[in-house]
Structure 1
Amino acid sequence: MSPTADHYRIIPSLTVPGYASETLQGIVRATHAAVQANVDNLGAGTPSRAPKFVKLLRDNNLIDYKNQSISTTNHNKTVSTLKDIEASMEGNDEGVDSSTYGTYTVAGDAYDEIEKAVKKLQVIIDDAPGPTTDTTGRQYWPESVEGPLRIACASTAATVEQQMLDAVTDIQRHADHINNSAPENPTSGFYGGITTALTTAWSGHSYVPPVDASTIDKIKGFAENELGVAETGTNHVNRPYNIDDAWCASFATWVWKQSGIDVHWNNPNYVPSVWSDAASKGLADSNMASARPGDLIVFAGQNHIGVVVARSGNTITTIEGNSGDAVRQHTYNISSGRFTGVVHPPAGSNTTVAV
């Protein structure tokens, strides 16, 4: 990569000793080029345009779908392929608009994680065993050493690409917030419901569930205990679910986690991400007739989310964070057509109740 290129941040160099094979040297150079291109796209706020280095390695049969290295018998062809891949990475990097570097603050946090991954890879290379010497005095690394190092390169690239996927979600969340494309602090009136007035401030007490409490009792207890929590600044609450941004999803997923339902969400603070992940796990249900206490309820447009704490006929009661700058209780008719659907707790969570 050109030393004069304008980068968002310079990725630490990756070096291998001279006795490493041309194949390993090629994959290390290509890995560095790919990571740098990813970082520059991140800094420009366009992580979705970053090159897919891992896919190229797979398409060219250099790694398998578990990121395991595939031994090659035609080293000249492999070296040529790696040079082409490196050129592809650099070509992508040259197309990044450097004038937009630093536009998204989320990039800085992701960069720190990427830099750690690259430094860790260098440590793995540095800690590799010394070379083997053949009968002619030539030093080299055997396949038993180079194979795992190629795997480490692919794993580092995969880690960086996962950071880019996460950044896509985070940047979209920030963009939605900045552009006011979603209601920042919706109240039930926006969705056709009825809001219970906040007559008292938050108690300030923590909820400790009884020893024999069921999961649904815990969900209701943790959610109800937060009623009255209000912002002390723009999108800031002095509670564990504070993220200094739109916090309805953070609140809802916090309630679940406190109640013992610890589902991995790629982004627990972004409603579309929660709904998408729930769908992939078989937990999302667009049939509102199935809504029951313990569910998370996703509103139309996937702009808001709450916790269902009760149901009576076609009426549900919810508790929602970031609703009019506070944690509030609401009631809705499930037939209003104002919902995307509900997210059921995983099987075995002991939340089944009659509806």
Structure 2
Amino acid sequence: MTTTDSTTPSEDELKSALKALRTEHPTLGISKLHAALLAAHPGWTVSEKRTRKVLQSEGLVIVNAGGSSNGGSEPAGFKYPSSKVMEGLDVGKWTDKVEVRVFDRKKGKGLVAKVKIAEGETIWKEDPFVLAPEWILLANQTDDAFFRSEWDIVKSMAQLGMEERHAQVSAAEPDRATWKKAFQLYKQAFYKPTQETDNKKLARLLKKPLPEDVADELFGYDAFLRNLGRMSLNLEAHGGLYVLHSHINHTCDPNVSVRHFDQRSALSRITVVAKKDIDVGEELFITYVNPEQSRVERQRQLDEWGFGVCRCARCNADREEEAKLLKEGKAPVKESGDGQVDADLANELKAGLGPDLKDG
């Protein structure tokens, strides 16, 4: 569909145009992509604020990390998971000991302590927030306010699509055929069954149709890949999705742990416990990886989901020790397969610790 001069595009038109531009210009920032949008559609009236909002809602924001105090940086085009603040979130439903804080556009949101928390203290307990197509379809049968509040939680969770994740993990082509087959089965099960009898069953359950924007977010192929990534990115280790838990950021030396104490009454309920004393204003951290593994292996796992270079105190100390061993001509880290020293380690250490690091 084309538009005439001085036309404000619909939400669908704008989304479609921005998706096409993002594919054509994968590394442009928001301002430059907005300029490209207006150049491609000179008759449109679109503010940069609206462009930013759509890019964020569609998971199309690209954040290129600049150099850090260590001197390292992620490669150009490296994509971090995107997330939004959950407007109106009542943290008090779970605890009065923490609050949500927004740090910066790269790190996003997190949780900080409102009071002093002692080692071993329970900070909160939480039952899972179930994210599945059937839940969303059934929730839509309730009143609109409740449904929108639940849908906002879904949209606010961090996301990184399967295409983006694969691009950062492997140079090989992903198995898109399997993705597409899974998408077709998913769509047939929850949206457009191929059998008339199944259509009638679904219609009896779902008398109220999904809002158009929600249907687009659930049953478009690109949205399907983003939602797969969102679910995998936010899953707690035992498989649940939790609203407040999804706010906690990573470190390799965490100050809280997530436990499953209520195994008889509520196996899926989590209990967040302090691993050490936490001061007022201090951020709460869990670990997204196995802390028993080497720094290189921990970093590989973080890279898979676009978290960038981990610069926690433990990783910084590990880098310094690796650099010391490398200067002495020793092999600080070995691959699990053939026992060869990680070929990229020296370059990473030089980037992270500066030019004083010499080859052994």
TM-score normalised according to structure 1 size: 0.25
Q: Between Structure 1 and Structure 2, whose CA radius of gyration is higher?
A: 1
Q: Which has the higher contact order (CA 8 A, sep 6+)?
A: 2
TM-score normalised according to structure 2 size: 0.25
